[in-house]
Amino acid sequence: MRPAGLALALAALAFSAGVASCDAQADRDYPGEPLATLRGQVAGIPPLPPLEAAMLWQRGPPPSTDDQELATRAPVQSTFPATFTIRLYQPPPAAARRRLASGEVSFARGNAAAVPFGIATSQVPALPGAQSPSYGVDVDHWVIHLDADVPPSSLTAWWLGAALPAGYHLLRVTAVDPACIGAAELEACVAALVVLGVPDDGTQHPGTARGFCLAPYRLSPAPGGELIVLHLGTYGLPAGGGPCP
């Protein structure tokens, strides 16, 4: 073999050996770095029933929790307090993606939850209510995934409480009794949304300025590293009707 041909053969052999070596060392089960990590604990008096922590993506309009899709499970450590870590490696399912209005950034909304150990995916929609005392969602937080950066002067930025970048975010959820919103406060809220292009037809229909302003909750970004707490028997936002602050 000529010297040039011998050199090419040796180079090809070295390259193929390197690829084989890398393949042998790679862990085929390694899922990659998580896109988001949630840490928290389950509140309850021990001994707790067998539980798993889970991410439930909400397919219905905010703030509903009665049409959900189980995406991720994580073991709950049998310590006191019972702790868990949920790692999200994939974007949310397409069925959970929505927009507040045409032209707004699409988002997906999820809740961390405690679910009975080994529950089937088909059983998840029937969980809310008294059917399972080993169930509860974190109603104090929503996990939001944004498909793009949120413009500052947009309805979505107003809704989130900040113009957040694309990706996963943990948001605090504060329950609001619409009956406690005064007339002046409501009109100021409506005027601010009209400037953002939200229609005001005088009704509280979904998608209108008054519909957004009279929603029974407000959102704000949670501080980094904030723990989430799963309360068994808790399924959604508390009902209004109590004394106003």
pLDDT one-digit tens code per residue, 79-118: 778 899 999 999 999 999 999 999 999 999 999 998 888 8
Measured CA to CA, the distance from residue 207 to residue 199 in angstroms comes to 8
pLDDT of residue 160 exceeding 60, the answer is: yes
As a whole number, the mean pLDDT across the chain is 84
Q: Report how far apart, in Å, the C-alpha atoms of 80 and of each of 47, 83, 84, 95, 129 are.
A: 9, 8, 11, 36, 26
Q: How confident is the model at residue 184 (pLDDT cuts 50, 70, 90)?
A: very high
Among candidates 215, 188, 195, which has minimal Cα distance to 204?
215
**pTM for the full predicted model:** 0.83
Q: How confident is the model at residue 72 (pLDDT cuts 50, 70, 90)?
A: confident
Say if residues 10 and 2 touch (Cβ distance below 8 Å): no
